[in-house]
Structure 1
Amino acid sequence: MLITNELRWFYPGTIPEDIKLWFQQNCLVDPFQSPESREDLYLYSPGCDYMGIKLRQGRLEVKWRQAELDLVRFGELAEGRAEKWGKWLCCDSTGESFQPATVLDNASWVSVQKVRYSQLYQVLPDSSVQPVVGNENIDNPCTVEITHLVIRDNPWWSIGFEASGEDVCLMDNLQTTASSIFNTYQGSRLGAADSYAYPHWLGLVYR
């Protein structure tokens, strides 16, 4: 099981151009890197924002919220609610299970199209933050991402942080990385009312 501390915001519409440009120029090692495009299928569970179940690229992912953490603030433009999650991954080596075709006729599963830019960071012992090239195994990692979403033909966008590592370091990894990232942020305000995880977002937009 993977344990993470996470922080996300969701907004309707497409990613504002100034925020997209800021992310590409200030958060990515390669500002010209191509985004990842994929479709995730979520199991819609009304009133259950503490658990997320989805099919992603031939595997089943189950996430369970273990704790709602502190309200965190980064300067005057970003305030959100951090949460602690546990994730289980289920794979089928035969490739017969966990395929979109097995659930697409079921109205309880909802398709979310994603175009995602992401960058992995490492928090160093001196509390500085550096971007990491590749998917090497590092201590105190935190991924920052900005994602264009489409659900029921409606566009949304999200910015988020996902910190992992030793349990005692999770919150420090999240806050240190986010503080460094938001040091250059000058976009529209990211408020606590718009800060939640994917299961809560689905409950708002898929009714």
Structure 2
Amino acid sequence: MTAEAPQSRVGEEDRSLEVRWIFPGRLEAAVAGWFGRFPIGTESREDSYLLDPRLPGLSVKIRGGRALEVKMYHGSPGILEVPGRARGRLESWQKWSFPVDSSDQYGGGPPAWRPVHKIRRISHFSLAGGQIAARASTQVHEPQCDVELTEVSTIGQHWWTLGFEASGPADLLRTAVEATAQLVFNPPLPRSAEPGLAESKSYQQWLLGG
């Protein structure tokens, strides 16, 4: 695999605060309709995650065959809780992305790399003046949060996931996630059980059976 130098400055950090829930089975129409009340963009792609060797604290993947993405885990600042509607483990990450030549072969085959096909619905939220709204931010230093509802398939099995990812000023990341979650979970997710800590995990933790 050939990786080119990133366009951003070497060592420039791209930090995020994230929470994700992953559920078995196919995405229900009622859940898709619940999320569809916000403006969404859609994307279909296949990511390949490095599972062997295990790299504690790191997540490595080939994103859509076009970029090598390395994420470093910086711990959890606590629990996101929307009373009676959702509880999830917040995770702090730092990310680097490098363009790759899609004609290269990467990995070493199963079980080193696990391909995961995704159909993603994405909505963008920004926090300005203390108010959260469903819109993409045009300000680099304005806190924002992307929310994705994604259908996932791998090794013949189907799953779906709901994830929040906040970016912007470090001291406002938690505020952005919490404000976005309050908006998104009102009304609550149309399921018999609320998203809880048992379903709250990163893609890497899920793929490794954590």
Q: Same fold (TM over 0.5)?
A: yes
Check if 1:37 corresponds to 2:44. Answer: yes
Say how many residue pairs are matched: 194
1:203 aligned residue: 208
Q: Which deviates more, 193-202 or 177-186? A: 177-186
> What is the TM-score with the length of structure 1 in the denominator?
0.86
Give the superposition deviation at 1:164: 0.6
2:198 aligned residue: 193
**Structure 1 vs Structure 2 CA RMSD:** 2.1
Distance 2:28 2:102 in 1: 39
Check if 1:76 corresponds to 2:79. Answer: no
Letter in 2 for 1:18: A
Q: Quickly say closer, same or farther: Cα 1:48–1:195, change in 2 above 3 A.
A: farther
Give the superposition deviation at 1:96: 6.0
Query: Contact (CA 8 Å) 1:46, 1:203: kept in 2 or not?
Result: no
After TM superposition, the structure 1 = structure 2 runs for residues 26-175 of structure 1, keeping only pairs within 5 Å, are: 28-29=38-39, 35-45=42-52, 48=55, 50-57=57-64, 58-92=66-100, 95=101, 99=104, 101-103=105-107, 105-125=109-129, 127-133=130-136, 136-138=138-140, 139-175=142-178
Query: Contact (CA 8 Å) 1:71, 1:79: kept in 2 or not?
Result: yes
Give the superposition deviation at 1:45: 4.2
SS of the residue 2:205 aligns to: helix
Letter in 2 for 1:182: F
Give the superposition deviation at 1:198: 1.1
In the alignment, structure 2 segments of 5+ residues that lack a partner are 1-12
Q: Which of residues 2, 5, 18 in structure 2 aligns to 1:6?
A: 18
2:4 aligned residue: none
1:22 aligned residue: 34
SS of the residue 1:132 aligns to: coil
Give the superposition deviation at 1:104: 6.3
In the alignment, structure 1 segments of 5+ residues that lack a partner are none
% identical aligned pairs: 29
Distance 1:73 1:47 in 2: 30
Distance 2:54 2:188 in 1: 34
Distance 1:153 1:45 in 2: 20
Query: Contact (CA 8 Å) 2:26, 2:160: kept in 1 or not?
Result: yes
